[in-house]
Amino acid sequence: MAKIVQLISKNCGKIKPDSVTDYVNAGGYAGLKKAMEIGPAQIVEEVKKSKLMGRGGAGYPTGKKWEQGYVRKTVFEYVVCNGDEGEPGTYKDKLILSQNPLLLMEGMTIAAYIFGIKEGYIYVRGEYYGLKEMLNNAIKNAVEANYLGKNIMGTDFSFNIHVVWGAGAYVCGENTALLESIEGRSGRPRQKPPYLSQEGLYKKPTIFQNVETYSNIPYIVEHGGDEYASYGTECSGGTKLVCLSGNVINKGVYEVPFGTPIRELVYSLGGGVSNGRKLKFVQLGGSSGACFTEEKLDTPMCYKALKDNELKLGSGALLVVDDSNCVIDFLKTITGFFIHESCGKCTPCREGNTRIYEILDRFSKGRGKPEDIDDLYRLSNLMDITSFCGLGQAATTALKDCLKYMREEFDEHIEGKCRAGVCNLT
């Protein structure tokens, strides 16, 4: 039976989001106060002990990243938070931004305190623009209460946070494209190296994390890294916000400890497949995430266990797909999304997605040929190894997995059959 453990979501829906008074009464800023007592070196050590992996998708150890900067005495200029959250089926960061933004801001402030950073930016996807007034009020109220601004809590540490709004570009979820957007240019990815810890915002060394990652920092500092790590597995510390959507009964955001089997997320928390249908497959991590069938449902939510099963956690979104859906139609929808969201900078992504869509469209109209499947494999592999950024590299993840696990449906479409009855093959 899957259990919910609320470490960072416990106050969501229970306090006024922009009220510092409510936040403090609910235990807020205890982490920041303790951070200033134990000092930067101990904060970094606690984050290392926590086994907190970056929650934006890459899964790089946060403590290791911060330790590298601290040991090298890197002079960081900015703290930046990626709140673009454009991955379809992902709305976990919105939970924090809309219901407990001061937790995120506290986490960013602790990160800034470690390195003596004075300026921070939260980049929020344009579709969340309705949160603008509330987020601005939260910052204003935190400044008035002396948890942001000059001489925070009577110390010589000063830190300000600014909110920058995206304009609906999926590619700005990529870190360097996001920074380009903050700087006022088109959101297109940069060449790496140099990395953000060397040249980030305005070409200055930058601490860069996701909303969920920063939001875990206050708990880790207040309660200690060992306690936080104890909620997860040996390789993945703490909890994860998981978004359940698609053909599942109980849709929503759930905070669960790492190690929870995917089956329990779907059938225990999610209540199983809706309308009494049969599960066809699950997609993990949004449209750029892996697709898999029943035999991998018992895989634990753990970075190592997922990797061992050729899966990636990504954003933590779980899309449940039942047998009323056609795999070709599903892939056409995803590929159409990536065509729309490609920034057009590199040829493999810009043209590859278009060619793949054309082939899938032929399958959906009963005009697919065996050699088309070979072309799908070839284009997928080409995009993976030659696309400039992660958007193009991961755009065909679902396609490759569907070919691997559901190849027979492609063959059926060549024969003029759609088992779900979705495609018009006449």
Q: End of a domain among 174, 202, 229?
A: 229
Give percent of the chain above pLDDT 70: 99
Provide the pLDDT for residue 128: 97
Q: What residue has token string 């970075």?
A: 303
Provide the pLDDT for residue 58: 76
Provide the pLDDT for residue 62: 95
Residues 129 and 165 in one domain: yes
Provide the pLDDT for residue 166: 96
Mean pLDDT of 204-215: 97
Residues 106 and 219 in one domain: yes
Give the pLDDT band of residue 257 (cuts 50, 70, 90): very high
Mean pLDDT of 347-368: 96
Evaluate whether 341 touches 170 at the Cβ level (below 8 Å): yes
Provide the pLDDT for residue 264: 96
* Helical ranges in 163-297 per DSSP H: 175-182, 211-223, 225-229, 262-264
Distance CA 257, CA 6 (A): 9
pLDDT in tens, 158-199: 999 999 999 999 999 999 999 999 999 999 999 999 999 999
How many helices and strands, by DSSP H and E, does the chain display? 18, 9
Please give the single-letter amino acid code of residue 90.
Answer: T
Distance CA 76, CA 303 (A): 29
Residues 250 and 183 in one domain: no
Provide the pLDDT for residue 1: 64
| 3 pLDDT higher than 90 | no
CATH code of the domain in which 103 resides: 3.40.50.11540
Please give the single-letter amino acid code of residue 151.
Answer: N
Residues 192 and 290 in one domain: no
In a domain, 206, yes or no: yes
Residues 309 and 255 in one domain: yes
Q: End of a domain among 280, 302, 322?
A: 322
Evaluate whether 8 touches 255 at the Cβ level (below 8 Å): yes
| 298 pLDDT higher than 80 | yes
Provide the pLDDT for residue 4: 83
Mean pLDDT of 81-86: 96
| 314 pLDDT higher than 70 | yes
In a domain, 213, yes or no: yes
Distance CA 254, CA 2 (A): 10
Residues 204 and 314 in one domain: no
Boundaries of domain holding 265: 239-322
| H or E element at residue 121 | strand 119-124
**What's the pTM?**
0.96
Under DSSP, is residue 212 helix (H, G, I), strand (E, B) or coil?
Answer: helix
List beta partners, residue 53: 61
In a domain, 419, yes or no: no
Evaluate whether 269 touches 250 at the Cβ level (below 8 Å): yes
pLDDT in tens, 38-78: 999 999 999 999 999 999 877 889 999 999 999 999 999 99
Residues 29 and 61 in one domain: yes
The dihedrals phi and psi of 26, each to the nearest 5 degrees, come to -90, 10
CATH code of the domain in which 349 resides: 1.20.1440.230
In a domain, 217, yes or no: yes
Evaluate whether 172 touches 166 at the Cβ level (below 8 Å): yes
What is the distance of C-alpha 229 from the center of its chain? Answer: 20
How many domains does one find in the chain?
3
| 143 pLDDT higher than 90 | yes
In a domain, 2, yes or no: no
Please give the single-letter amino acid code of residue 261.
Answer: P
Residues 30 and 44 in one domain: yes
Residue ranges with strand state E in 184-278:
206-210, 239-246, 252-257
Q: End of a domain among 288, 304, 322?
A: 322
Residues 287 and 370 in one domain: no
Residues 318 and 332 in one domain: no
Residues 32 and 163 in one domain: yes
CATH code of the domain in which 263 resides: 3.10.20.600
> What does pLDDT average to over the chain?
96
Residues 200 and 338 in one domain: no
| 89 pLDDT higher than 90 | yes
